[in-house]
Amino acid sequence: PSHLDLLRAADGAAADAAHDALHAGGDGGRWPPDAEHPGDHDFWTERLPPAPDWPDAPCAFLRTGAAVPGIGPVDFWARSAAARGWPVRTLADGEDVTAALAEVIAALPG
């Protein structure tokens, strides 16, 4: 994913605003020249490398809807997983967890 993809997963409206600013013309698509990191189109759209400690293994996200203290909003993590191309499944009330987990495992590549 790119910086813009990650922002879109966290906050779609903010990503749209950033995209619009990048295409506004004039200096609307650039940060000040003395900024620590460039803020132009290349920065926002470059493909980010995978984390060096990330296993070479397929991933999926099973959203149970249960809040877990300290991890932030579950919606963010589901959108982040989808932005990375992972299968995302939301568990319906009363649905069998084992069956839903088997479904996301079956959706994994390989």
The domain of 21 spans 3-45
DSSP string, 19-58: HHHHTSSTTTT---TT-SS--SHHHHHSBPPPPTT--SS-
44 burial via Cβ count (<10 Å: 0-12, 13-18, 19+): buried
Structural domains counted in the chain: 2
Residues 33 and 65 in one domain: no
Q: Is residue 35 part of a domain?
A: yes
Does 66 lie in the same domain as 35?
no
Per-residue pLDDT at 81 exceeds 80: yes
> Can you say how many angstroms the Cα of residue 92 is from the centroid of all Cα atoms in its chain?
22
**pTM tops 0.75, yes or no:** no
Checking if the pLDDT of 25 tops 90, the result is no
One domain, residues 76 and 102: yes
The reply to whether 99 falls in a domain is: yes
Gap between the Cα atoms of 42 and 92, Å rounded: 40
Band (3; pLDDT cuts 50, 70, 90): confident
Residue 86 lies in a domain: yes
Q: Determine, yes or no, domain membership for 53.
A: no
